[in-house]
């Protein structure tokens, strides 16, 4: 798979995962309002869609090559062994 195609598919999966998660959270919130009369049996599916959306998001990040953590994050720079270049930090 070419890099451009992989990036497009990865971004599509990430977008689909985001929409799935937001839709699940939205339905879970709207289901708490009794005046709307939404079916209760779909509430469990809405909770499950949050996890399915997260899996789609992670799969899209993996396919699109965006699963790496950037070095600009403070925690990664100071405590991740990949970013310390062999320096040992002594914390007291």
Which of 21, 52, 27, 47 has the alpha carbon at shortest distance from 39?
A: 27
Helix, strand and coil percent figures for the chain, each rounded to 5: 65, 0, 35
Q: Name the average pLDDT for the chain.
A: 79
pLDDT band for position 18 (50/70/90)?
very high
- Compare 57 and 89 and report the one with higher pLDDT: 57
Percentage above 90 pLDDT, the chain:
22
pTM over 0.85: no
Note the pLDDT of residue 62.
Answer: 85
Question: Are residues 56 and 20 in contact, defined by beta-carbon separation less than 8 angstroms?
Answer: yes
- Compare 21 and 90 and report the one with higher pLDDT: 21
Q: Tell me which DSSP letter residue 66 carries.
A: -
Examine the pLDDT at 43 and tell me if it is beyond 70: yes
């Amino acid at each position: 798979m070419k890099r451009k195609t992989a990036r497009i598919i990865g971004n599509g999966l990430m977008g689909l995962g985001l929409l799935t998660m937001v839709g699940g959270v939205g339905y879970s919130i709207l289901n708490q309002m009794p005046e709307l009369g939404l079916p209760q049996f779909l509430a469990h599916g809405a909770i499950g869609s949050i996890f399915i959306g997260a899996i789609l998001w992670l799969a899209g990040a993996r396919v699109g090559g965006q699963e790496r953590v950037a070095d600009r994050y403070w925690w990664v720079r100071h405590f991740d062994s990949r970013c310390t270049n062999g320096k040992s930090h002594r914390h007291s």
